[in-house]
Amino acid sequence: MNATAFEKLLAIASRRELTAAEVAELQALINGRPDLKAVWQEEEQLNRLLRKLPEPAVPTNFTARVLEQVQKQPVSRPSVLSLASLRGLWRFRYALRVAAVVLLGAVVIGVHQRRAANENALRSWLTALPADGLAEVELWSDFEAIRHLPSEPLPSIHELADALK
């Protein structure tokens, strides 16, 4: 038998009388162990003395005192969204919307700048081409017509000139 079973029985004995099975288990534990037997006898005497003590009388104004203490304590209300937290939420949502509009504006401006840069690069490339046998440069400046050309195998410059005539 182990000491934890003995401690468990001591705890039970401090709360109530032991049953016959628990008494038998206790006797088996303390047989041959004078140290446990001495501890048990001390605890048993202490428990008997404590049981003989009268129950303390409850004061007549006990309920009134308890209610008074309860009323004195501040009431903690459940967490409710306060006006300040709603303002903070509104500010966050507003800031998020502003950030989204700024990002959208940056994307639109970036796309426009990229398109303008591509058109300028194409215009400078077209002006640098030799003009012999090709259509006029003004025709090549029609970027919409150039955009609709097939992008898969690139035609030769002469085929492009024929297609744009």
Q: What is the pLDDT of residue 72?
A: 85
| Secondary structure class of 135 (helix, strand, coil) | coil
pLDDT of amino acid 109:
94
Place of tokens 């194409």: 122
Amino acid 16: pLDDT: 84
pLDDT at 10: 85
How many of the other CB atoms lie within 10 Å of CB of 10? 17
pLDDT (tens digit per residue) in 43-69 = 888 888 888 888 888 888 888 888 888
pLDDT of 129 reads 65
User: Can you give the pLDDT at residue 62?
Assistant: 87
pLDDT in tens, 147-163: 666 666 666 777 777 77
Report residue 114 as tokens: 């990229």
Question: First vs last Cα of the chain: how many Å apart?
Answer: 109
160 Cβ contact partners less than 8 Å away, ≥ 6 residues apart? 149
User: CA-CA distance, 43 to 150, in Å (whole number)?
Assistant: 101
The domains of the chain are located at 3-53, 86-128, 130-165
Alpha-carbon span 24 to 30, nearest angstrom: 10
In tens digits, the chain (165 residues) has pLDDT values of 467 888 888 888 888 888 899 889 888 888 878 888 888 889 888 888 888 888 888 888 888 888 888 888 877 665 655 666 667 777 888 888 889 999 999 999 999 999 988 888 877 777 776 655 555 556 556 666 666 666 666 667 777 777 776
pLDDT at 84: 64
